[in-house]
Structure 1
Amino acid sequence: MSSLRSVYLGLPRPVWTLFAGTMVNRLGYVVTPFLVFYLGSRGVSTRDIPWVLGALGVGNLLGPALGGLLADGIGRRTTMLVGLLGTAAAQGALYLAPGPVTMSGAALLLSTSGATVSPAAYALMADSVEADRRQAAYGLFGWGINLGTAVAGVLGGFLAAHGYWLLFAVDAGTALGYAAVVLALLPRDRQSAARPGGATSDADGVGYGVVLRDRLLLSLLGLFGVSLFVYSLTESVLPLAIRDAGLSPAVYGAMAAVNAVVVVVLQPMATARLARFPQLPVQVGASVLIVSGVALTGAARSPLAFALTVLLWSVGEAAASGIAAATVANLAPAHARGRYQGAFGWVWGVARCTSLTLGVVVYTDLGPGVLWTATLGAGLAAAFGTLVLRTRMYALTEVADAPPEAARMVATVPLPEAEDEGDKAVTC
């Protein structure tokens, strides 16, 4: 308990506000998981359903990029309000849409608006928290997402049984509730939203050029993308593996419950316990657990075997929580934090989209053995590839006349003599 208090107590008010608002909002995350059932109840044909679901996927790519631009351009708080109000409006539009074409447009608006919020929230946390405490802040934020989503799964089933309109009403209501929390409790955007803290960089402009010029970040995002693709297979291919083992859909529901319980219970304690260690080795170790658990899915045949694989990658998920987002935040110049987080969110969207397409195609056309073997090799390579980047980060500390970009990266890496301070640098 003392470690929990030392890690989480003292986090500033905006972090706790974002935690509470996000958890409330995720309690209403009930439309998307049941969307296929709703579309069927509206008479949408099997041929047209993929267009609506595809629109959701496209929005998950557009939203983070747009959110990052807006967060640095018009401000964090304003961007969150735009996204949350847009989400509420899109819920109503999707429920009232008369056909597949209008449903697809509403679905695109829904996922784009929803995905716009996170880059602004992550950037605001980076503005509010010192570098050595960002991993705890992002871990707390992620825990709120997981907790709310776990409850939403149960709530959604209950609401759907009493009328699909309740799903849309609750989802829109929680988005509006989060917007009210943001409006009432978060600080107003600074006068120069694009450059909080007075930082200026005319050469960076307002687009993603500042991100594309950061080669270290791009390398990290590439490695993160592989790891996130591996993790996303738990959402896209795990159901197929369970089906092909001759097990019922209820088994997949049970696996989702195992993951939710493990992460919700372990994540706060894991973050508190592991905060004293260098974060790069923690990230690598957690990634190995995730990759191993996902790859071992190929050997599972019984509910117990599947549960053991889920337990393994869920422990890794809990241990790694917040580290990647904190790494991105620590690499970002103050005026571009929104775009850096937008790029990270975009990588998340690409990973999910790729797992639903390439992952499923490899599994069905080339065979499960090919997918799980490739997953193990690529995942381990990505995990240990981050150790090479750590060497590059340390090398920057050797340069006496390092440029400003190097100086901000040095802040994320402990000097060797700082090990007795806990070596709490946030790295990938």
Structure 2
Amino acid sequence: MVTSFRGLPRTVWTVFAGTVVNRLGFMVTPFLVFFLAERGVTGSDVGYVLGALGAGNLVGPAAGGLLADRIGRRPTMLAGLVGSSAAVGALYVAPGVWTMAAAALLLSATGMMVSPAAYALMADAVEPARRRHAYALFGWGINIGTAVAGVLGGFLAAHGYWLLFAVDAASMLLYAVIVAGRLEETRPEAKEEAATAAGSGVGYGVVLRDRLLLLLLPLLGVQLFVYSLTEVALPLAVHDSGLSPAVYGTMAAINAILIVALQPFVTARLARLPQLRVQAAGGVLIAAGVALTGLADSIAGYAFSVVVWSLGEVVVSGIGAAIVADLAPADARGRYQGAFSWTWGVARFAALTLGVTVYTSLGPAVLWWSALAGGVLTAAGLLALRARVERRTTAEPTTYTKPSRETVAA
């Protein structure tokens, strides 16, 4: 195994394996528009279902982070996985638009409960110096599974959309089995909570009182918004260039191949550098790649832009979640990761709404230049916060649950 991930606790490898399994079945959401068209859902009705799907991305992380601290990481992951599996089935059998929207809301909300709990669990089990590696491995698993699911999903859809729903639901249940059988609860004990974060309570007040985190999350959110444009505005640009949908599929494949091939090596090379500096540089690289989309009008041009922002994606992988974990009190890690995942949900929702509106109303050039400016400005903001973040994480290191020798992967 690649040295950058060697020595991580078994807990992290178990989450990685479950994530790969789960993402191998991630097929319903990418093909949802095609499924809705087959069911006769068109026009504004499609917007209702997709809007509900986006709204769940805002509800799920907040609930998942809160529950991870209140009832535990493992029960929250199980509830999210079993709930999203049931929601997939409900979406398939839903008889009308509003029942489809309700099922879509449940699907995204329960699915988004899992990540904050998984992030908190890994923060509990990994020392601060290795958290970025753990989160990068988690992201690597997402990309491995997604890359395969994209190809497999197209094949299954041609033989019946029910296969997409069946495989998606089965992958969630299989991940739940892995969680139930292979993971142990890591939530800090009450006496440790009192020692590390007295008065943090059970709500999100502890997050809202953290001024440094409240400065950091919007900056990360803008970077995530710029990155999310690759899923939203890139296909619009490819279409407007007169190229076929297959070209966008090729671009997605280039991105997946680069991530899977480069992630372990880049993580190892950059691990010793200051995290916020790397995050800032990677954010600028992503923004530059997105901006280059506006100059592309051929397959080669789009491929070059994808290579640039994909390299930025590799550079920043795992850093945001690791910084948030380092800032969090031990008993509030779930809520801190819930706030981070919520920021991600807001960014994607904004890309679907604001990003598309700017592209269609003000013109593509405005969006591309705005993305570049946003990337540069947020990088400057992150560098301005570097001293405060380092001072706090050095002076007040958070505790973690040290793994036993038996739980460390060879």
Correspondence list, 1:237-252, <5 A: 237-252=233-248
Correspondence list, 1:28-427, <5 A: 28-188=25-185, 192=189, 199=195, 201=197, 203-394=199-390, 396=391, 407-408=395-396
Change (3 A) 1:71 1:257: same
In structure 2, distance between residues paired with 1:72 and 1:377: 37
Partner letter of residue 67 of structure 1?
A: G
Offset of 1:40 from its aligned partner?
1.4
Post-superposition Cα deviations, 1:354-391, rounded to whole Å, max 9, x if no partner, equal: 11111111111111121111111111010121111012
Partner of 1:418: none
- Aligned to 1:88, the other structure's residue is in SS state helix
Change (3 A) 1:393 1:95: closer
In structure 2, distance between residues paired with 1:114 and 1:195: 31
Partner of 2:23: 26
Gaps of 5+ in 2: 400-410
Query: Does the Cα contact within 8 Å between 2:84 and 2:106 map onto a contact in 1?
Result: yes
Query: Does the Cα contact within 8 Å between 2:325 and 2:337 map onto a contact in 1?
Result: yes
Partner letter of residue 217 of structure 1?
A: L
- Aligned to 2:95, the other structure's residue is in SS state coil
Offset of 1:88 from its aligned partner?
0.8
Change (3 A) 1:159 1:198: farther
Gaps of 5+ in 1: 398-404, 412-428
Query: Does the Cα contact within 8 Å between 2:73 and 2:187 map onto a contact in 1?
Result: no
Partner letter of residue 202 of structure 2?
A: V
Offset of 1:299 from its aligned partner?
0.8
Partner of 1:9: 6
Offset of 1:99 from its aligned partner?
0.8
Query: Does the Cα contact within 8 Å between 2:197 and 2:329 map onto a contact in 1?
Result: no
In structure 1, distance between residues paired with 2:124 and 2:188: 15
Offset of 1:321 from its aligned partner?
0.6
Post-superposition Cα deviations, 1:95-152, rounded to whole Å, max 9, x if no partner, equal: 1111111111111110001000000000000000000000000000000001000100
Q: Which moved more, 1:368-377 or 1:261-270?
A: 368-377
Change (3 A) 1:195 1:54: farther
Q: CA RMSD in A?
A: 1.8
Query: Does the Cα contact within 8 Å between 2:124 and 2:186 map onto a contact in 1?
Result: no
Offset of 1:244 from its aligned partner?
1.5
Partner of 2:405: none
The count of corresponding residues between Structure 1 and Structure 2 is 399
Change (3 A) 1:315 1:374: same
Partner letter of residue 168 of structure 2?
A: D
In structure 1, distance between residues paired with 2:236 and 2:18: 34
Change (3 A) 1:340 1:190: closer
Q: TM-score scaled by structure 2?
A: 0.94
In structure 2, distance between residues paired with 1:292 and 1:190: 40
Post-superposition Cα deviations, 1:250-285, rounded to whole Å, max 9, x if no partner, equal: 111111111111111111111112113222222222
Query: Does the Cα contact within 8 Å between 1:68 and 1:119 map onto a contact in 2?
Result: yes
Partner of 1:422: none
In structure 2, distance between residues paired with 1:301 and 1:252: 13
Partner of 2:408: none
Q: TM-score scaled by structure 1?
A: 0.90
User: Percent same amino acid at aligned positions?
Assistant: 65
In structure 1, distance between residues paired with 2:397 and 2:277: 18
Query: Does the Cα contact within 8 Å between 1:393 and 1:410 map onto a contact in 2?
Result: no
In structure 1, distance between residues paired with 2:33 and 2:384: 43
Offset of 1:239 from its aligned partner?
1.0
Choose between structure 1 and 2 for higher RCO, CA contacts under 8 A separated by at least 6 residues: 2
Query: Does the Cα contact within 8 Å between 2:121 and 2:187 map onto a contact in 1?
Result: no
Structure 1 runs (4+) deviating above 3 angstroms are 188-192, 194-202
In structure 1, distance between residues paired with 2:186 and 2:372: 44
Change (3 A) 1:9 1:237: same
Query: Does the Cα contact within 8 Å between 1:190 and 1:196 map onto a contact in 2?
Result: no
